[in-house]
Structure 1
């Protein structure tokens, strides 16, 4: 009878290096689910509308890059195997969002942010640090992050032109998934962070959005 392999810390580190390359290399992310916008038609838009929508989708793409890094960092340092599995499962679902946003950027004749490697590294470090503290803090960080992403998506949905049904379909499905991930993290024992911590996370997110809207 073949025994299941026990992966070492170094094995997981190599796997995560591969995941980082897949996250950051243009066109490397492959969605498991079809894009919610796949069956919808593009509508004519002027150059200013396309520029603004591309800016919003670039922010969301970078947000998903950060989510990948966060989950991978947490999975590396998680204490309990079941928590590590939750992190890795959530990261797999977030890959869909990454691929959908990148595809929409191409349709808008735009590109992903040049700052993605920087934000990946910062997010990975924060995720790994949270996992080192405790699984409860790590899961709480996931919940707080997903709540923040939900706020961004709500704001972007309000800013989208009504006729841009493709971007709207993507963001609405992303919003549903993020709410589910946040709730799962709290149900698994995640800490509900106090307001000062959440305020600090909001400030950091504003830096990311300002940096990536145009670049």
Structure 2
């Protein structure tokens, strides 16, 4: 049951997420790497890619929060909570890297959060199997997206690359965990719709 107290807690959390006030529970893998010399073009490109990744983590927070809120299955709630904590690490790491690159988070962060929360709620209302299937498909697309960023980042930008690689490892694990809990495969049209929405988000967030 959704109470006023729950609404206040979720609203406060949403404000902290979209304003970039995330806190990591694990050390930032980028801190283990040396600073690299990046020219203006390389720095701008790295920042654009990391801003896209930060937006992806805003969406992940919203998705896991809403899906956890609308499922009654304790094992699924616990898995969503665990995955959400690791996704918050990603959120904090990408925000840190953007600051190091003298850049900023997306100006459309509230919009990304609201849209993702609505998608998560719809998926959860379709039942646990569909909700878990939504996670599996999301994480599969995110893993492919992160793999492409490892190809696009400047080779010498070891800090950004270390963050993205750990994110990729975690996303694969999150998808596998959701699959093990009984995910169903989403219809192909839904998969294509998700890819289309992701394309709009990544293209826009790179710049804005």
TM-score bracket for the superposition, by shorter chain length = over 0.9
- Say yes or no: does 1:74 pair with 2:67: yes
In the alignment, the residues of structure 1 paired with residue 42 and residue 89 of structure 2 have an alpha-carbon distance, to the nearest angstrom, of 25
- Say yes or no: does 1:121 pair with 2:114: yes
- Say yes or no: does 1:193 pair with 2:186: yes
In the alignment, the residues of structure 2 paired with residue 69 and residue 132 of structure 1 have an alpha-carbon distance, to the nearest angstrom, of 15
Unaligned segments of structure 1, at least 5 residues: 1-7
- Say yes or no: does 1:160 pair with 2:153: yes
Paired residue for 2:6? 12
In the alignment, the residues of structure 2 paired with residue 82 and residue 18 of structure 1 have an alpha-carbon distance, to the nearest angstrom, of 25
How well do the aligned residues superpose, as a CA RMSD in angstroms? 1.1
Contact 1:79/1:134 (CA < 8 Å) preserved in 2?
no
- Say yes or no: does 1:212 pair with 2:205: yes
How far off is 1:173 after superposition? 0.3
In the alignment, the residues of structure 2 paired with residue 211 and residue 151 of structure 1 have an alpha-carbon distance, to the nearest angstrom, of 18
Once the two structures are superposed, residues 128-181 of structure 1 have per-residue CA deviations (whole angstroms, 9 ceiling, x without a partner) of: 111111011111111110001001101110001111111110000000000000
TM-score computed with the length of structure 2 as normaliser? 0.96
Match for residue 19 of structure 2 among 5, 19, 25: 25
Match for residue 35 of structure 2 among 31, 42, 66: 42
In the alignment, the residues of structure 2 paired with residue 154 and residue 132 of structure 1 have an alpha-carbon distance, to the nearest angstrom, of 31
In the alignment, the residues of structure 2 paired with residue 17 and residue 93 of structure 1 have an alpha-carbon distance, to the nearest angstrom, of 20
Paired residue for 2:86? 93
Contact 1:33/1:96 (CA < 8 Å) preserved in 2?
yes
How far off is 1:13 after superposition? 3.0
TM-score computed with the length of structure 1 as normaliser? 0.93
The structure that has the greater radius of gyration is: 1
Alignment of 1:127-138 (within 5 A): 127-138=120-131
In the alignment, the residues of structure 1 paired with residue 10 and residue 84 of structure 2 have an alpha-carbon distance, to the nearest angstrom, of 11
In the alignment, the residues of structure 2 paired with residue 151 and residue 39 of structure 1 have an alpha-carbon distance, to the nearest angstrom, of 25
Moved over 6 A (4+): none
